[in-house]
């Protein structure tokens, strides 16, 4: 340790101190979603605001900026771990110092109460119960945009929090190319999958049996249960709380076991990324995921490219039948066809692979309009319903099936949604390259052996942390930046649709 540049050593110490506070805050957030008594909300909001405020103050202290400047003047070797950490500390410092700690604390308090209000509003299917909370959050989001500063759309200021380097203008162009291609695939895919509706899976699947099966699948994928767990919540998520502590959640439907299964496979994909980050860099940028577009690529890859494949169900069908005896009335081919059935539906997290991106594009458009002051919070349900019917041909009858279905806005993550589609596109590129680099991969996956795939992802994605920016990392892994070709090719191949 004696040869560490002094200012860099101080930054390391401060970063790891902040990581402990952030970890405690994440644990409080996880508990709020899973086990917290309802009457504890006010106290929890205060706790979370305190931890967020303290972490913010520690990082935005003037001496932290001086240490970063000293490191920049010192000039670490380009491409080194130290240079990458300093680069990301600078980026984060410049953003965070523009937001006063009092606003960070206010935001956390608002999010805690908004999350609770969203849950009640969703249960009652009444947007008006959530509207005043969303309005308060939007007022702060708009204030944040001005404080951060931006070029182009003010949405860029929010997007940069989740996908560094991405711009709304580029995403709009990307989605404008993607949408008509998806629509062209949708009709033929619906026709080809019509013979095996998803409803053929419907039966009675006890929650205990689902939990046992899901755990077996997640363990086979490589998720370390000595360093993680699965719990139940309204909206599935993965939370990396710190070293060797990764929490997955899912929700259960006793009529359809695949809802929890794919929820777990999706969140376990996130969890594998968290468990694959280098522990020696914990608390620093090199020990953190590079972006949500890359993070989502991991979950979508495992959920769709592995979990919905024919080889997956050939391997896991007999095991599933042990947990769910009544599944024996179907064949592996029928199960595969059912989980790949294409039909426009209301709920994003249950959407098929073809229509999923249409859900995301809608949310992206609404977020852009809210941030650019082209849409009032009070008008969100009507706008959502109109645009949804135009895109999906379905009339939204309940707010719970429309603008209240997702938790994201209630927890303050404005700018998150487009990273789901970026994840979809990135996942297809990563899977294609893994198959190219590992010729025996398909044979191994057919045997339920996932070590080679996980090892490839560990090497190409997980171990790098934030050493590279998102698009640079993807180019190093696949040879190209995010595009639509691999994703569209995979969909056309699955559903037998000509280009």
What pLDDT, on the 0 to 100 scale, is given for residue 250? Answer: 95
Q: Are 138 and 370 in contact (CB under 8 A)?
A: yes
Same domain, 186 and 139: no
Same domain, 355 and 393: yes
Q: Please give the residue range of the domain that contains residue 38.
A: 6-149
Same domain, 308 and 244: yes
The Cα 156–Cα 163 span in angstroms is 10
* 163 lies in some domain: no
Same domain, 204 and 308: yes
* 479 lies in some domain: yes
* 250 lies in some domain: yes
* 353 lies in some domain: yes
Assigned token pair, 353: 């692979």
What pLDDT, on the 0 to 100 scale, is given for residue 234? Answer: 82
Same domain, 363 and 415: yes
What pLDDT, on the 0 to 100 scale, is given for residue 261? Answer: 97
pTM of the model: 0.95
What pLDDT, on the 0 to 100 scale, is given for residue 3? Answer: 75
* 161 lies in some domain: no
End residue of a domain, out of 90, 116, 149: 149
Same domain, 116 and 252: no
Element spanning 240, H or E? strand 238-242
Q: Are 417 and 429 in contact (CB under 8 A)?
A: no
CATH number where 381 lies: 1.10.1370.30
What pLDDT, on the 0 to 100 scale, is given for residue 164? Answer: 95
Angle, CA 278 vertex, CA 272 and CA 279 arms, to 5°: 100
The Cα 499–Cα 496 span in angstroms is 10
Assigned token pair, 16: 């790891």
Same domain, 214 and 317: yes
Q: Longest Cα pair distance anywhere in the chain, in angstroms?
A: 69
Q: Which of 267, 296, 365, 367 is catalytic?
A: 267
The Cα 470–Cα 46 span in angstroms is 34
Check residue 406 and report its DSSP letter: -
What pLDDT, on the 0 to 100 scale, is given for residue 228? Answer: 98
DSSP for 298-330, written as a single string:
HHHIIIIIITTSHHHHHHHHHHHHHH-GGGGGS
Same domain, 87 and 221: no
User: Minimal CA–CA distance to 306: which of 484, 426, 428, 417?
Assistant: 428
* 160 lies in some domain: no
The Cα 56–Cα 200 span in angstroms is 51
Same domain, 239 and 289: yes
* 159 lies in some domain: no
**With the CA atoms of 183, 184, 185 and 189 taken in that order, what torsion angle do they form, in degrees rounded to the nearest 10?**
90
Say how many C-beta atoms besides its own lie within 10 A of residue 455's C-beta: 15
End residue of a domain, out of 88, 120, 149: 149
Name 325's Cβ contacts closer than 8 Å, sequence gap at least 6: none
Assigned token pair, 200: 């053929």
Name 364's Cβ contacts closer than 8 Å, sequence gap at least 6: 171, 175, 417, 418, 421
The Cα 385–Cα 90 span in angstroms is 42
Same domain, 178 and 73: no
How many residues does the structure list for the chain? 499
Residues of the chain with pLDDT below 70 are: 1-2
Question: Exposed e or buried b for every residue in 381-408, given b needs 16+ CB within 10 A?
Answer: bebbbeebeebbeeebeebbbbbbbbbb
Q: Are 168 and 128 in contact (CB under 8 A)?
A: no
Q: How many domains does the chain have?
A: 2
The Cα 45–Cα 22 span in angstroms is 15
* 162 lies in some domain: no
Same domain, 85 and 220: no
Element spanning 229, H or E? strand 228-232
Assigned token pair, 480: 């190209």
The yes-or-no answer on residue 267 being catalytic is yes
Same domain, 137 and 172: no
């Amino acid at each position: 340790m004696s040869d560490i540049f002094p200012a860099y050593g101080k930054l390391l110490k401060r970063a790891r101190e902040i990581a402990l506070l952030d970890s405690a805050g994440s644990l409080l957030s996880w508990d709020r979603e899973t086990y917290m008594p309802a009457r504890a909300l006010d106290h929890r909001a205060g706790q979370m605001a305190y931890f967020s405020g303290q972490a913010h103050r520690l990082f935005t202290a003037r001496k932290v900026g001086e240490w970063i400047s000293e490191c920049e003047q010192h000039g670490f070797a380009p491409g080194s771990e130290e240079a990458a950490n300093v680069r990301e500390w600078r980026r984060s410092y410049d953003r965070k110092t523009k937001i006063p700690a009092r606003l960070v604390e206010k935001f956390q308090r608002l999010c805690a109460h908004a999350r609770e209000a969203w849950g009640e509003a969703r249960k009652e299917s009444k947007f008006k119960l959530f509207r005043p909370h969303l309005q308060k959050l939007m007022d702060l989001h708009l204030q944040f945009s001005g404080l951060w500063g931006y070029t182009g759309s003010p949405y860029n200021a929010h997007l940069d929090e989740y996908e560094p380097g991405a711009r709304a203008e580029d995403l709009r162009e990307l989605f404008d190319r993607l949408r008509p291609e998806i629509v062209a695939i949708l009709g033929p895919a619906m026709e080809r999958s019509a013979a095996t509706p998803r409803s053929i899976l419907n039966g009675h699947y006890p929650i205990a049996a689902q939990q046992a099966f899901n755990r077996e699948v997640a363990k086979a994928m490589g998720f370390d249960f000595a360093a993680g767990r699965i719990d139940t919540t309204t909206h599935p998520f993965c939370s990396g709380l710190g070293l060797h502590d990764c929490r997955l959640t899912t929700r259960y439907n006793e009529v359809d076991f695949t809802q929890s299964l794919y929820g777990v496979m999706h969140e376990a994909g996130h969890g594998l990324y968290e468990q694959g980050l280098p522990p020696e860099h914990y608390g620093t940028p090199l020990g953190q995921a590079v972006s949500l577009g890359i993070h989502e690529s991991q979950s979508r890859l495992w959920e769709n490219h592995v979990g919905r494949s024919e080889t997956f169900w050939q391997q896991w069908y007999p095991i599933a039948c042990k947990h769910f005896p009544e599944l024996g009335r179907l064949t592996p081919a029928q199960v595969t066809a059912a989980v790949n059935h294409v039909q426009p539906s209301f709920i994003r997290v249950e959407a098929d692979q073809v229509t999923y991106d249409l859900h995301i594009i809608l949310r992206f458009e609404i977020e852009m309009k809210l941030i650019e002051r082209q849409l009032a919070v009070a008008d969100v349900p009507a706008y959502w319903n109109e645009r949804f019917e135009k895109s999906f041909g379905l009339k939204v009858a309940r707010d719970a099936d429309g603008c209240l279905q997702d938790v994201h806005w209630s927890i303050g993550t404005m700018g998150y949604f487009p990273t789901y589609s970026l994840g979809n596109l990135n996942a297809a590129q990563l899977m294609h390259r893994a198959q190219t680099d590992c010729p025996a991969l398909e044979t191994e996956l057919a045997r339920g052996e996932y070590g080679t795939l996980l090892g490839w992802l560990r090497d190409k994605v997980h171990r790098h942390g934030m050493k590279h920016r998102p698009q640079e990392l993807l180019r190093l892994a696949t040879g190209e930046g995010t595009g639509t070709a691999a994703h569209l090719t995979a969909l056309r191949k699955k559903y037998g649709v000509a280009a």
